Amino acid sequence: MTWEDPLKKALWILLPAIVIIAAATAWFVNRTPASPFDGQESGAASPALIARGEKVARAADCVACHGLPDQPAFSGGLEMATPLGSIYATNITPDKDTGIGGYSLADFDRAVRSGVTPDGHRLYPAMPYPSYTKLSDADVKALYAFFMNGVPATKKANRKSEIPWPLNMRWPLALWNAVFTDPGRYEAKAGQDELWNRGAYLVQGAGHCGSCHTPRGFAMNEKALDDSDPLYLAGNVLDGWYAPSLRADPNRGLGRWSEAEIFQFLKKGRNRHAVVYGSMTEAFNNSLQFMDDQDLKAMAHYLHALPGDSSRDGEPWQYEAKMDAGLAASSGAQTYMSRCSYCHGRDGRGQAPWIPPLAGAASSLAKDGKVSAINATLNGSGRVVAQGIPDAYRMPAYRNQLSDRQIAELLSFVRHAWGNEGGDVSEDDVADLREKTDPASTDPIVLQMH
């Protein structure tokens, strides 16, 4: 007996196993997920069902990703940068050639809640189906009715992604989904009242708040998908902005906000603590302000109940008027007094609710918050549009007025003053975001859905 004989025996044993595993994997990644609407006709859509679907579309902020200014609603084209390359939002109007006009209700459901198109094409999770999977059957049916009957069809071809081969292969997404998603509808939590459960449904599902506010893992997966994990909505850096914690963390989150103040922020886009910025501006302009007050109150009720983590957030921030002499005389302090104090105040307390405070702000307290401070200083902030009226109080861009060093010194001052403990900002931090970001649009962007 030679050494080759055991090797041959091992190969004869392993080969069938490899074939079986390969066949099972091929079946798994190419299978069509089941839908509760399989074999069902959608039927005629009543005006009430279409109106309900429009509300779901607003809560889900579909138009912000699938629309562009001066383009027909939901006709796609928005570029989304990923670590692998750019992808483009698709046309989801009921055009039969370039949109979703040929989708059955079951096809639509699979795309929204499972991330799979009728031809088996897997959607990138930039489409937040890991959150939309929690939508109820009734809301999905209403959403379908709205898109098929309440949205004008637009013939507009979709742009191909710019992710190179072989990274653009979609079948591995089936394995990603199996590991990092939690299929299943939202189930009301026992022991919580109706308002809390409605808020949880909206935040976890249609609102897909975790897509921005929950930390991401090595595979760009959300580390938590609901409040059973303390990492859910605990804050995250995404697209050059810090999406702060939405939990009761007093420094990087909502721990110092009352339930009424959370509601005010969702309803008006501002309160005495903050004004919407970054991608939250788009969420307010195109989604939140159009939602029913009762739903916004439910979201505020739910968010206010999420516990913080003192071991993560430290001692609650306290305002300190007295400042170290060296800090008060620094170059950053001089720049602040000449450039920023007129709006944000010499005391850093802002002019609520129009101009936010920098004292005690999440961007001034959280280590990761510096990206928002840098981005806003470099590029300004987008227009907040409430009830059709553009905000007159807008953060200007200092990209062409201050050097990287001046901005670093300025923000290091802010993040140490008034009891803030965010830490220093370096020239390299500023240079990195200067290269990767662009000035915010000065035009009010509110996308119409009709």
pLDDT at 448 over 90: no
* Residues 343-358, mean pLDDT to the nearest whole number: 96
Report pLDDT digits (tens) over 267-295.
999 999 999 999 999 999 999 999 999 99
- Which superfamily is assigned to 320-436 in CATH? Cytochrome c-like domain (1.10.760.10)
235-239, 257-261, 328-332: range with lowest mean pLDDT: 235-239
Per-residue confidence (pLDDT) for residue 165, from 0 to 100: 87
> What residue type is assigned to position 51 of the chain?
A
Per-residue confidence (pLDDT) for residue 25, from 0 to 100: 59
In the structure, what pLDDT confidence band is assigned to residue 26 with cuts at 50, 70 and 90?
low
pLDDT at 170 over 60: yes
CB 82 within 8 A of CB 156: no
> What residue type is assigned to position 77 of the chain?
G
CATH of domain 42-153: 1.10.760
Report pLDDT digits (tens) over 123-154.
999 999 999 999 999 999 999 999 999 999 99
* Residues 102-113, mean pLDDT to the nearest whole number: 97
Write out the binding residues: 62, 65-66, 209, 212-213, 340, 343-344
CB 299 within 8 A of CB 202: yes
pTM of this prediction?
0.92
Per-residue confidence (pLDDT) for residue 168, from 0 to 100: 86
* Residues 225-234, mean pLDDT to the nearest whole number: 97
* Residues 97-113, mean pLDDT to the nearest whole number: 97
Report pLDDT digits (tens) over 389-444.
888 888 999 999 999 999 999 999 999 999 999 999 999 999 999 999 888 755 54
CB 32 within 8 A of CB 116: yes
pLDDT at 12 over 80: no
Per-residue confidence (pLDDT) for residue 288, from 0 to 100: 97
pLDDT at 297 over 80: yes
Per-residue confidence (pLDDT) for residue 21, from 0 to 100: 66
What percent of the chain stands above pLDDT 70?
92
* Residues 39-48, mean pLDDT to the nearest whole number: 90
pLDDT at 5 over 90: no
- Mean pLDDT estimate for the chain: 92
In the structure, what pLDDT confidence band is assigned to residue 450 with cuts at 50, 70 and 90?
low
Nearest by Cα to 221 from 128, 88, 85: 128
In the structure, what pLDDT confidence band is assigned to residue 41 with cuts at 50, 70 and 90?
confident
pLDDT at 447 over 60: no
Please state whether beta strands 236-238 and 79-82 pair in parallel, antiparallel, or not at all (unpaired).
Answer: unpaired
In the structure, what pLDDT confidence band is assigned to residue 182 with cuts at 50, 70 and 90?
very high
pLDDT at 7 over 70: no
CB 360 within 8 A of CB 418: yes
Q: What is the 3-state secondary structure (H, E, C) of the chain?
A: CCCHHHHHHHHHHHHHHHHHHHHHHHHHHHCCCCCCCCCCCCCCCCHHHHHHHHHHHHHHCHHHHHCCCCCCCCCCCCEEEECCEEEECCCCCCCCCCCCCCCCHHHHHHHHHHCECCCCCECCCCCCHHHHCCCCHHHHHHHHHHHHHCCCCCCCCCCCCCCCCCCCCCCHHHHHHHHHCCCCCCCCCCCCCHHHHHHHHHHHHHCCCHHHHCCECCCCCECCCCCCCCCCCCCEEECCEEECCCCECCCCCCCCCCHHHHHHHHHHCECCCCECCCHHHHHHHHCHHHCCHHHHHHHHHHHHHCECCHHHHCCCCCCCCCCCHHHHCCHHHHHHHHHCHHHHCCCCCCECCCECCCCCCHHHHCHHHHHHHHHHHHHCCCCCEECCEECCCCCCCCCCCCCHHHHHHHHHHHCCHHHCCCCCCCHHHHHHHHHHCCCCCCCCCCCCCC
Q: What ranges do the domains of the chain cover?
A: 42-153, 320-436
Separation between Cα atoms, residue 433 and residue 225, nearest integer Å = 29
Write out the binding residues for heme c: 62, 65-66, 209, 212-213, 340, 343-344
Q: Would you say the CATH fold of 320-436 matches that of 42-153?
A: yes
Per-residue confidence (pLDDT) for residue 446, from 0 to 100: 56
175-184, 325-334, 400-409: range with lowest mean pLDDT: 175-184
pLDDT at 353 over 70: yes
